[in-house]
Amino acid sequence: MRTDLAASYGEERLPRYTSYPTAPHFSPEIGADTYSRWLSELPSGASASLYLHVPFCREMCWYCGCHTQIVRRDELVAAYQRTLLSEVTLVADTIGRRIKVEHIHFGGGTPTIMAPEAFAEVMAAMRQAFFVLPSAEIAVEIDPRTLTAEMVEAMRLSGVNRASLGVQSFDPLVQRAINRVQSYEQTASVVDMLRQAGIGGINFDLIYGLPHQTIASCLDTVRRSLELAPDRFSVFGYAHVPSFKRHQRMINEAHLPDGLARHDQACAIANALKEAGYVQIGLDHFARPDDAMAVAYEQGTLRRNFQGYTTDKGEVLLGFGASAIGHLPQGYVQNEVQIGAYQESIAAGRLATAKGYGLTDDDRLRADIIERIMCEFGVDLGDICARHGAEPKEMLQSASRLKSLISDGVVRLDGDRLAVANDSRFLVRSVAAAFDAHLDPGKQLHSRAV
């Protein structure tokens, strides 16, 4: 991997392209009435994925970029859970039929902050409102520091089959600097509980670019994580945006690695995981060769949505909870971010949509191009443009940022086929950004490219 390119492109602030256009372009012109109409227009054979956002934690991790808040009183979580139940019913009634569901994902925050019986009640409500397929993947994000045996049992009885554990780093110095002290023993104990309960799909989330991190500490975290043999790893670069996330101001910027150091950490982690037998998938995921995600990557069917890389092939994502984002064929919708406003809307019998985006034909074309670049490090522009009734030549002419990427050897162009060079794949976001007609380089809304 080329450090000269990391220096040239690494400081750019670019989207992670879990959607196109990205969330900063959502508008309040798309509201509850629009979402209601879009739901009622879903085709009869449509299947959906469900995302449920639980925006509560017991303690704030200073690196966090999620919509969450600290809560000590369990009754606040219980009241929120009841609102979730009402929203599930409201959305299902608006659709007007019991559509198929292939994926369910609980995110946060800390979804397992709900009481075990409350979690089970939400799952039961979703099964009643939607036809959850027996083969559905049901995933839950977990903070190993707070997971209880009772919650594991509730997850088992509810059909959960995948768990994503936040690990980030096992280095005590780094943990103290980000206000997340989590021992290896805690993590190992949770992995053991989950596996004993039959929840066999285990993901680990790691982060590089944190304060005090070094290549040595990153590799030690990888080594210890490998002892627990998760099926998948997600490896993210820390996005330091204290102007948007005030709690990040608790992190001393002087202790953050620079762009080149971040690049070296990312490379070291990737190399260690590949040497251990994991397949690198897209920008930041790694999976065992027989894992469904690795198979999808090899077959060219990998997708990307708000949870990152996914095997989910559906075109409908229904978001529930404060700040949750949904994706329908017509466009994107996002719920009220503030918990109070979200609960007020649902209590009044209204969908809680606060903003969204209606897709144009050009957006759909560019979204397909960007997704293939992010998933496959390349794209057949002729094939995608043909499906959208567009001309590859015009699309290439509109991508002015490609010129420097081609001259720097980041991208190879062979006719209508574009490929990211193997030693430049860490810049895949920069390549995807070349096709982003909405990108404003002057606005510092996103994380660094490296």
Bridge partners (DSSP) listed for residue 56: 69
CATH assignment of the domain containing 281: 3.80.30.20
pLDDT of residue 440: 78
Sequence-distant (6+) residues with CB within 8 A of 128 are none
- Classify residue 330 by its DSSP letter: T
DSSP per residue, 393-440: HHHHHH-TTHHHHHHTTSEEEETTEEEE-GGGGGGHHHHHHTT-TT--
Q: How many domains does one find in the chain?
A: 2
pLDDT number for residue 185: 97
CATH number for the domain spanning 377: value is 1.10.10.920
CA 217/CA 214 separation, integer angstroms = 5
- Please indicate, yes or no, if residue 330 is contained in any of the structural domains: no
Domain assignment present for 51: yes
Q: Are residues 313 and 399 in the same domain?
A: no
| Rg of the Cα atoms in the chain | 21
Residue where a domain stops, chosen among 305, 325, 345: 325
The reply to whether 78 and 15 lie within a common domain is: no
| Same-domain pairing of 121 and 244 | yes
Tokens 């190399």 found at: 271
DSSP 58-94: SS--TT--SS-EE---HHHHHHHHHHHHHHHHHHHHH
Domain identity same for 27 and 11: no
**Same domain, yes or no: 215 and 138:** yes
Q: Do 312 and 412 have their domain in common?
A: no
Strands (E), 179-282: 201-208, 232-237, 279-281
Question: Whole-structure pTM over 0.85, yes or no?
Answer: yes
- pLDDT computed for residue 151 by the predictor: 98
Q: Do 52 and 177 fall within a single domain?
A: yes
pLDDT at 182: 96
Interior angle at CA 386, CA 382 and CA 389, nearest 5: 135
Range of the domain at 439: 1-22+360-450
**Looking at the structure, do residues 107 and 233 belong to the same domain, yes or no?**
yes
Are both 29 and 162 inside the same structural domain? yes
Q: Which residues contact 281 (CB under 8 A, 6 or more apart)?
A: 287, 293, 294, 297, 302, 309
Residues whose CB falls within 8 Å of the CB of residue 23, separated by 6 or more in sequence, listed in order = 325, 332, 334
One pLDDT digit (tens) per residue for the chain, 450 residues: 566 777 777 677 789 899 999 999 999 999 999 999 999 999 988 999 999 999 999 999 999 988 899 999 999 999 999 999 999 999 999 999 999 999 999 999 999 999 999 999 999 999 999 999 999 999 999 999 999 999 999 999 999 999 999 999 999 999 999 999 999 999 999 999 999 999 999 999 999 999 999 999 999 999 999 999 999 999 999 988 898 888 999 999 999 999 889 989 999 999 999 999 999 999 899 999 999 999 999 999 999 998 889 998 888 999 999 999 999 999 999 999 999 999 999 999 999 999 999 999 999 999 999 999 999 999 999 999 999 999 999 999 999 889 999 999 999 999 999 999 998 998 999 999 999 999 976 555 555 555
Q: Are residues 164 and 300 in the same domain?
A: yes
B/e letters for 313-323, b = 16+ CB within 10 Å, e = fewer, are ebebbbbbbbb
The per-residue pLDDT for 314 is 81
